Amino acid sequence: IFGLPAWGVAARVRGLTAGFSDGSLRAFLVRSAGVAAAVARLSVLDGSAGLYGIGVAPERRREGLGGFITAVAMRAALARGSSLVWLSVEDGNTAARSLYERLGFQAAFRWSRWMAPRP
């Protein structure tokens, strides 16, 4: 997960492990010369699918890997019977928004995320 702060790694690993164990989560990885270049996660539940953690290594951006891995994950969701595939993106991330729009995603609503301070 590119850019994840060190303090969040342990909790993220626990959540990923649980999702892989119960079958609700799938992960996708693009490797190039043995190095992770792009990642995405897919969670399918009750006919809808969420794409999470879509990321491309900074040095590999603008090569089409983001579109590739997003399309692969989206097709996997549809193949598993999902009738709706969704994701979220920050308003200011214009590159990602443009990519998702090219793939057919449309803005459905806006939301805010609130986080408690770290202990």
What's residue 17's pLDDT?
A: 86
What's residue 28's pLDDT?
A: 95
Overall number of domains in the chain: 1
* Domain contains 30: yes
In the predicted structure, residue 1 carries a pLDDT above the cut 60: no
Angle between helices 65-79 and 94-102 (to 10 degrees): 50
* Average pLDDT score, the chain: 88
What's residue 111's pLDDT?
A: 83
pTM as predicted: 0.78
Collapsed DSSP state (helix, strand, coil) of residue 93: coil
* Domain contains 71: yes
* Domain contains 113: no
Do 64 and 53 meet the contact criterion of CB atoms below 8 Å apart?
Answer: no
Task: For the chain, give the percent of residues with pLDDT over 70.
Answer: 96
Partnered with residue 26 across adjacent β-strands are 42
- CA-nearest of 92, 97, 36, 37 to 64 is 37
What's residue 3's pLDDT?
A: 65
CATH, residue 94 = 3.40.630.30
Q: 22-64, pLDDT tens digit by residue?
A: 878 899 999 999 999 999 999 988 889 999 989 999 999 999 9
